[in-house]
Amino acid sequence: MLPRGSIASSSVPKTSVYGSMSSTSDDSSALATPYPDSEMDPAIRHVGSYEPAPGEQSIIYDEPIKKSITLQTREPSKHRYGLGDFVFHRTLGTGSFGRVHLVRSKNNFRFYAIKVLSKEKVVRMKQVEHTTNERALLSRVQHPFVVNLWGTFQDPSNLYMVMDFVAGGELFSLLRKSTRFPDPVGKFYAAEVALALHYLHSNNIIYRDLKPENILLGADGHVKITDFGFSKLVPGVTGTLCGTPDYLAPEIVEGKFYNKSVDWYALGILIFEMLAGFPPFFTTDPQPNPFKLYELIVAGNVVYPSYFDEKAKDLIRRFITADVTERYGNLKYGAKDIFAHAWFAEVPWERLYKKEIPAPYVPKIESDGDASQFARYNENNTLDYGRHADDPFGHAFPDFDYST
Ligand SMILES: Nc1ncnc2c1ncn2[C@@H]1O[C@H](COP(=O)(O)OP(=O)(O)OP(=O)(O)O)[C@@H](O)[C@H]1O
Ligand SMILES: [Mg+2]
Residue with the nearest Cα to atom 19 of ligand 1? Answer: 95
Top mutation candidate among 16, 99, 100 for ligand 1, by most atoms within 8 Å of CB: 100
Task: Identify which of 11-20, 92-101, 337-346 has the greatest average pLDDT.
Answer: 337-346
CB-ligand 1 contact for 16 (6 Å cutoff): yes
Going from the Cα of 61 to the center of ligand 2, the distance in angstroms, rounded, reads 33
Task: Identify which of 10-19, 218-227, 373-382 has the greatest average pLDDT.
Answer: 218-227
Ligand nearest to the backbone CA of 226: 1
At the second CATH level, the architecture of 83-167+380-399 is 2-Layer Sandwich (3.30)
Q: Is 143 helix (H, G, I), strand (E, B) or coil?
A: coil
- The secondary structure element, H or E, covering residue 217 is strand 215-217
What is the pLDDT at residue 52? 33
Going from the Cα of 99 to the center of ligand 2, the distance in angstroms, rounded, reads 10
The mean pLDDT value for 132-148 works out to 96
In this structure, is the dihedral angle defined by the CA atoms of residues 394, 398, 399 and 404, taken in order, positive or negative?
A: positive
Integer CA distances (angstroms), 28 to 200, 238, 344, in order: 21, 6, 36
In this structure, is the dihedral angle defined by the CA atoms of residues 297, 300, 303 and 305, taken in order, positive or negative?
A: positive
Rg of the chain in Å (alpha carbons): 21
- The secondary structure element, H or E, covering residue 353 is helix 349-353
C-alpha to C-alpha distance for 44 and 151, rounded to whole angstroms: 35
What is the pLDDT at residue 65? 52
What is the pLDDT at residue 27? 34
Q: Which atom of ligand 1 is nearest to the CA of 170?
A: 31
The CATH 1.10.510.10 portion of the chain extends over 42-72+169-353
Model's pTM, two decimal places? Answer: 0.86
What is the pLDDT at residue 21? 34
Going by pLDDT thresholds of 50, 70 and 90, the confidence category of residue 39 is very low
What are the tens digits of pLDDT across the range 294-333?
Answer: 999 999 999 999 999 999 999 999 999 999 999 999 999 9
116 φ, ψ (degrees, to nearest 5): -115, 130
The CATH 3.30.200.20 portion of the chain extends over 83-167+380-399
Q: Which atom of ligand 1 is nearest to the CA of 147?
A: 1
Going from the Cα of 323 to the center of ligand 1, the distance in angstroms, rounded, reads 31
pLDDT at 6 over 70: no
Residue with the nearest Cα to atom 21 of ligand 1? Answer: 95
CB-ligand 1 contact for 371 (6 Å cutoff): no
Q: Are 168 and 216 in contact (CB under 8 A)?
A: yes
The DSSP string of 382-394 is: -TTTT-----TTG
Q: To the nearest whole percent, how much of the chain has pLDDT over 90?
A: 74
Q: Which fold has domain 42-72+169-353?
A: Transferase(Phosphotransferase); domain 1 (1.10.510)
The mean pLDDT value for 274-278 works out to 97
- Binding site feature residues for ATP: 115
